[in-house]
Amino acid sequence: MSESLFALVSDWGPVLIFASAYLSCLAVPIPTSLMMLSGGAFVASGDLLLWQVVAAALTGAILGDQTGYLIGRHGAAPLVAHVARSPKRRAALARARALVDRRGGVGVFFSTWLVAPLGPWVNFIAGTTGLSWRRFSVWDVLGETIWVSVYVGLGFGFASRIEAVADLLGNAVGLLAGLALAGAMALWIRGALQAREANRNGAG
């Protein structure tokens, strides 16, 4: 799979990186991080230009996030009802909602790079919960800048070990996503216990 992705990035360059970044931010399962690593590696070899790879990835990611936010804001109820039919997506939406409710714009920032698998769902939820567009955009641009810089930079710096770096980062993202789920569950349990205690005090 990696070799075919490298070939695609070599042939299509920034156009493919832009499209993959855009679609992945709308929950389309595309290995954009690996494509950015590949783009960085091709920059190191002189086959692609750094500014084009960075601009393509950053523009695609920001536009994808903005599209997700607008979909959430203007098509909230039907979208959430449709997405929530899948238990896996319902769980992702719950984690995203917990992150936005607790952290607001900072949650958007973390979802773009630290817990990237939650990113598309955070975009939708940020729109549905009424997080202001300005606040969403500022934190989103900051976060996506880190995401793109890290992956393209690692691809450039470790061009000869690109697959090993991709495996390492994939494992790290999986761990962070698991920690985010555990944190969301802990917050939910704490809230439920506090509500139960409040009901007891009220009844007493």
- Domain boundaries defined on the chain: 2-203
**Gap between the Cα atoms of 103 and 106, Å rounded:** 5
HEC secondary structure over 32-52:
HHHHHHHHHHHHHCCCCCHHH
Q: Can you read off the two tokens belonging to residue 95?
A: 């984690």
Q: For residue 1, what is the DSSP state?
A: -
- Residue 164 in this model has a pLDDT that exceeds 60: no
Place of tokens 């494992």: 171
| Contacts with 1 (C-beta within 8 Å, 6 or more apart), sequence order | none
pLDDT of residue 192: 52
pLDDT, one tens digit per residue, over 129-161 is: 889 999 999 999 999 999 999 889 888 887 665
Q: Are 111 and 99 in contact (CB under 8 A)?
A: yes
Rounded distance, CA 70 to CA 68, Å?
A: 5
pLDDT surpassing 50 at residue 171: no
Q: List pLDDT tens digits, range 35-55.
A: 898 888 889 888 899 999 999
Q: Which of 53-57, 91-95, 165-169 has the lowest mean pLDDT?
A: 165-169
| pLDDT the model gives residue 163 | 55
